[in-house]
Amino acid sequence: MKKKIIVISSIIAIFIIVFIVIFTVLNSSKSENAVEGTKLLNGMLLSSTFPDSYEPYIKELKKKYSNWEFKALYTNLDWDYVIDNENVFGKNLVPKSYSDSWKNTTPGEYNVEVDSGWVDSSREAVEFAMDPRNFLNYVRIFQFEELSYNANTNTTSSIEKILYGTEFYNKIVEYKNSSGNNIVTNKKYSELILSAAKSSGVSSFHLASRIKQEVGPFLSHSSISGTVQGYEGLYNFYNIGATSSSEPMGAIKNGLQYAKDGKGASTAIKNKYLIPWNTKERAITGGAIFIGSSYINQGQNSIYLQKFHVYDTNNSELFWHQYMTNVLAPYSESKLIYNGYANSDLLSSSMSFVIPIYENMPDLPCTSPAISANDFSSDNTKVFANVETSLNVRTGPGTSYETLTSIQGGTLMTRIAKGKQKGELWDRVILQNGIVRICLPKLCRRSTRNRSRKN
């Protein structure tokens, strides 16, 4: 009898072990594919499935541009953990001229110039700039564009359209050598940028937009003038290595030091990046190769991921490998890129966007520090669009903000915050399709259907 019991117990034990093994394998498989449609692409775990709070914006973009592809990048990082690691003094800056709502107001850190004219940003500014849902519109989406070179769209004529309005536009390249002599080439800036794109594998639109972002519209910018004392004949179009410094022109000098010797880089690295950057062609091409190999080809393949180091394919320590300190750089550069595509009539082309997802994000997108909470009062009222034709829904309280979508007159929505601004009034609403934290002109009226339900 004992022998029979032992045999039965052994069978049960084996069954339990087999069950545990099967459960573990299935659970592991489920964990690895927790998001439907997840796949590994160029070292990135991407999905076609977005969280509910993202989905309405993605649908609106797809309706407008059917050739655009959207990929969700699940970072598996907790939202508060990300903000805590980004909200570190000196890591994210705003112009000193900005209002205090954008600034770190901690005593001893308030208005301290980390770089000339730039101060530490507020936590609210970091939250706003890092919340992808704030930028899922047809203009700002370009901070999430994959930035690889595309031979079908990258042409000198398209680059010229991005450069329009600057001194680089349709301009033959000239530069000064270390002796101060003026050298005139037979190439335009657009030609150098296209050549650099081919050599680096980086989008020429990104390179042109990055140059405009970093050195502005003027050839006289100190980073590319070739006349800075001690750094004559050196150029840095992308401000690579231009780390912040309180010394006058400190950041620019740091960038030019990189252009000179790579700040102590090995001979192999200097050869790879064409250092020294003692001609404009070497600076534009070498800098592009640096951007490609150091960021885009390492998984930081969007402006957003270059600014906010929340993902890469090297399993590196996060939050340190960040290209720029301007907290709104992705926001600004995205419009430059959009304008380039729009002026080139390329917006209907096939494009791909990689959009980060975080764990435990706020239910509603984080509000811009430019929008004062005192300008709104809490509300929870059913309203309708009080217009005969259609009403534009915008990303902020003013016609200067981008349009997210349009709704027909009579469309119902929920007003979650009632505008009490001076002058033209704007409300914050949730549309029936789920788009939230949107500001509308106060062309809405309380729904009579809502009243009838109360009665």
pLDDT at 325: 94
Query: pLDDT tens across 219-248, in order?
Result: 999 999 999 999 999 999 999 999 877 777
**H or E, element range at 72:** strand 68-78
Residue 16, pLDDT > 50, answer no
Structure tokens at 92: 């994210």
Residue 113: alpha-carbon gap to chain centroid: 24
Q: Closest Cα partner for 400 from 419, 375, 426? A: 426
Check the CA dihedral 263-266-269-271 and report its sign: positive
**H or E, element range at 383:** strand 376-385
| pLDDT: which is higher, 246 or 267 | 267
Strands 351-359, 68-78: pairing is parallel
| pLDDT: which is higher, 435 or 18 | 435
Residue 152: alpha-carbon gap to chain centroid: 24
pLDDT at 22: 37
Query: pLDDT tens across 326-358, in order?
Result: 999 999 999 988 988 898 888 988 889 999 999
For the ranges 3-12, 350-359, 378-387, 394-403, the maximum mean pLDDT occurs at: 350-359
pLDDT-derived band at 372, boundaries 50, 70, 90: confident
Backbone angles phi, psi at 124, to 5 degrees: -65, -35
Q: Closest Cα partner for 405 from 419, 415, 391? A: 391
List of residues 6+ apart from 342 with CB closer than 8 A: none
Check the CA dihedral 411-413-418-424 and report its sign: negative
pLDDT-derived band at 27, boundaries 50, 70, 90: very low
Helix axes 204-215 and 189-200, enclosed angle (nearest 10): 120
pLDDT at 72: 96
Share of the chain above pLDDT 70, in %: 86
Residue 10, pLDDT > 60, answer no
Distance CA 130, CA 83 (A): 8
Instruction: Kindly list the structural domains of the chain, giving each domain's residue range(s) and its CATH number in brackets, ordered by start.
Output: 147-300 (no CATH), 373-454 (2.30.30.40)
Burial 165-190 (b: 16+ CB within 10 A, else e): ebebbeeebebbeeeeeeeeeeebbb
Residue 426, pLDDT > 50, answer yes
| pLDDT: which is higher, 342 or 31 | 342
3-class secondary structure, 325: coil
For the ranges 27-41, 292-306, 436-450, the maximum mean pLDDT occurs at: 292-306
pLDDT at 44: 59
Q: Closest Cα partner for 280 from 189, 158, 200? A: 189
pLDDT at 442: 60
pLDDT at 28: 35
Q: Closest Cα partner for 137 from 57, 205, 53, 54? A: 57
| pLDDT: which is higher, 9 or 341 | 341
Residue 445, pLDDT > 80, answer no
What average pLDDT is seen over the chain? 86
Distance CA 316, CA 314 (A): 5
Share of the chain above pLDDT 90, in %: 61
pLDDT at 231: 97
Supply the pTM of this predicted model.
0.76
Backbone angles phi, psi at 68, to 5 degrees: -85, 140
The average pLDDT across 174-201 equals: 97
Structure tokens at 26: 């299935």
Query: pLDDT tens across 157-184, in order?
Result: 989 988 999 999 999 999 999 999 999 9
